[in-house]
Amino acid sequence: MGAMSVPDRLTADCSRCAGLCCVALPFAASADFAVDKAAGTPCRHLQRDFSCGIHAGLREAGYPGCTVYDCFGAGQQVVQVTFGGRNWRDQPEVAGSMFAVFPVVRVLHELLRYLTEAQALPAAAPLSDALDEALAATDRLAAGTPEELAALDVEAHRRSVADLLGRVSDLARAGSPGPDRRGAQLLGARLRGADLRRASFRGALLVGADLHGADLRGADLLGADLRGADLAGADLRDTLFLTAAQVTAARGDTGTRLPPALPRPGHWEAAGRRPSRRRGRARR
């Protein structure tokens, strides 16, 4: 499969944003967030310079949900391009519009990331024209005005692109496709050591699944929920549409093999350094 390099504009740059994900989006007290927060309300940990006051210890403070969120560069696009460098704090009159279009641009940038990956796949060559057209159309939409973005039926566009990406996936997995588990409910599923090469887990719920040592090479993981999934020793090389956020949401170790473009999450390494607890009666 072809190698992909994620363009800088599709990589979050918090220094060029205005803490949009910390303000525009709501979250509820859960295993992912320590407290409730309403949409449009700044997180209590958001600083005056739009940085996070507990960024280095988000997991320990009860905010692991923040560590796995990825705007795919939508934050800096909205602040620097859509609103020309303005921000909701210094120009409160743009706050409502800015918060409304941020999730729209986030969807468009996520689609751009998947389309960029699809273009790099040799197997997708028969669809190169369609991919070029879809990427150009999505780019134009992402560059729209606040009014155009607010009026956009982004879900209709997502469905159109998803259909194209599905055709790309079929081509990439042709010949000997694995099991079709699209949209499957696989919470806590026991898939340890399974041969899942070229399987489709598109949109599957794999929360807490045991994928220890599983072979996922060439599998389609677009939109799969991997929160808490055990990927220790698993082989995810050449997986399709796997993102850094999905990997960060899972658990892995030094034996987990990832696509070259994806960084190994720091908390994996930290978990591997924790001393093991010995069982048995303590010596006196």
pLDDT in tens, 111-157: 999 999 999 999 999 999 999 999 999 999 999 999 999 999 999 99
When the pLDDT of each residue in the chain is averaged and rounded to a whole number, the result is: 93
Tell which of 145, 172, 199 closes a domain.
172
Nearest to 73 by CA among 62, 60, 82, 63: 82
Angle made by CA atoms 242, 101, 128, in degrees to the nearest 5? 45
Q: Is the pLDDT of residue 279 over 50?
A: no
The reply to whether 79 and 129 lie within a common domain is yes
Residue 187 forms part of a structural domain: yes
Residue 273 forms part of a structural domain: no
The reply to whether 96 and 42 lie within a common domain is yes
The reply to whether 69 and 202 lie within a common domain is no
Residue 279 forms part of a structural domain: no
Nearest to 20 by CA among 65, 60, 70, 67: 70
Nearest to 71 by CA among 14, 119, 114, 26: 14
Q: How confident is the model at residue 84 (pLDDT cuts 50, 70, 90)?
A: very high
Model-wide pTM > 0.85: yes
The reply to whether 157 and 195 lie within a common domain is no
Q: How confident is the model at residue 281 (pLDDT cuts 50, 70, 90)?
A: very low
The reply to whether 72 and 143 lie within a common domain is yes
Domain count, the chain: 2
CATH for 221 = 2.160.20.80
Residue with tokens 């859960």: 30
The reply to whether 114 and 132 lie within a common domain is yes
Residue 269 forms part of a structural domain: no
Residue 29 forms part of a structural domain: yes
Q: How confident is the model at residue 283 (pLDDT cuts 50, 70, 90)?
A: very low
The reply to whether 110 and 188 lie within a common domain is no
For 242, the domain range is 176-260
Q: How confident is the model at residue 282 (pLDDT cuts 50, 70, 90)?
A: very low
The reply to whether 163 and 30 lie within a common domain is yes
Residue 3: what pLDDT?
53
Tell which of 134, 154, 172 closes a domain.
172
Residue 4: what pLDDT?
61
